[in-house]
Structures are given as C-alpha cells and as structure tokens.
A = this chain, B = another copy of it.
C-alpha cells in the first residue's frame, strides 16, 4: 500500500463512521450542529483516545481533512436521506473497510513509538476502531451497541492477533496489513451475515 492509497481508504473510513454518527443523531432528533459534532466525534474519537493515551498530538488537529470529510458525510445524510437507506449495504462495507484500516493504523502508530509491548498495539488498534462508536453511544445516551450486538470490537482484536502472527512469521508490511484487514473484514462480514454473536453474560 502506498501512502496515498492508505489516505484514500482512511478518508472513506472517516466518511463512513461520520455517516453512522450523523444518522444515529438524526434518529434522536438532534439539531444540525449536534448531528455534525456527533458525526465528527464518531469518526475521530477512537484515534483521539489512542493519541491521548500514547501522549502524541491527536492526528486531526493539524489536518482539516477530517472536518471536511465529516461535512461531506453530513451533507450526504441531509440531501440523500432516502437513497441512503437503499444503499445501507454499501455503507456497511465502507464502515467495515474503515474499521480495518483504523485498526491497522492504530497498531502501526503504537509500534512506531518503539516503547510499548505488542499486546498494547493490539489494544490501541481496537480502541482506534471501536472507541469512536462508544463515544457516539454515550453522547446519544444509549447503551454502547458494540458491547451487545455483532462481532465488532472483537474483530479488531482478532485482526490485531493476525498482525502479530504475521510479524512473528516475518511477512513484509504490505502482506501483514492486507492479511490483517482481510481478516477483520471477513470476521465481521460473516458474523453479520450469519448473525453470529458472542455469548451473552448471564446474571
């Protein structure tokens, strides 16, 4: 993967995450500004928590693209709200692609600091992918979805373990990234298609 390709996929992920934030805010009848803010926090929240924990400057603070990306997502929800329902499968695929890339980015940013163990990189990858959705649900005052439905955060962890195994096996970066992303994508896709979930806790 060359730099610009990653960038493109990352913007697609940001766009898809922002769409999900804006739409869920619309379901709660937030106003326009609130919906934009929730969309933005959904898109960049995971990476921001990661960067705060790693003590590096939050990635979006010197790059206005993420604000613009959210603005485009917001405009799309306003203008194409009917059509969006018909293309929800496409959005699901965007969202999952975004998830894959976010996890890979989170792992690599952590490893690049060269002062943390691998298991932390896996956690940081999962936070990058999943924490934005948790913040969204907290702001909307609903129970975080990812803790109850679908394989979502757990797909991130599986992806992280694949990344680790690939590194041990000595694969090069491109193959490692591709295998990790593919594994997250397939895990989530299969889980949603066949309604596979983790066991529910019993009281």
Residues in A lying within 8 Å of B, measured CB to CB: 22, 25-35, 37-38, 48, 52-53, 55, 57-58, 61-62, 64, 67, 77-78, 81, 115-117, 119-120, 134, 138-144, 146-148, 153-154, 157, 197-203
Contact = CB atoms under 8 A, between A and B. Distances in A.
Contact of A201 (B26, B119, B146): B26
Contacts of A200: 29-32
A155 to B, nearest CB: 10
Given A147-B25, A153-B37, A203-B26, A198 B142 contact: no
Indicate how many identical chains form the complex.
3
A147 B27 contact: no
Nearest to A124: B61
A31 B147 contact: yes
Nearest to A139: B144
A32 B199 contact: yes
B32 A198 contact: yes
A166 B197 CA distance: 53
A31 B203 contact: no
Contacts of A199: 31-32
Contacts of A148: 29-31, 34
A64 B143 contact: no
Contact of A202 (B81, B115, B202): B81
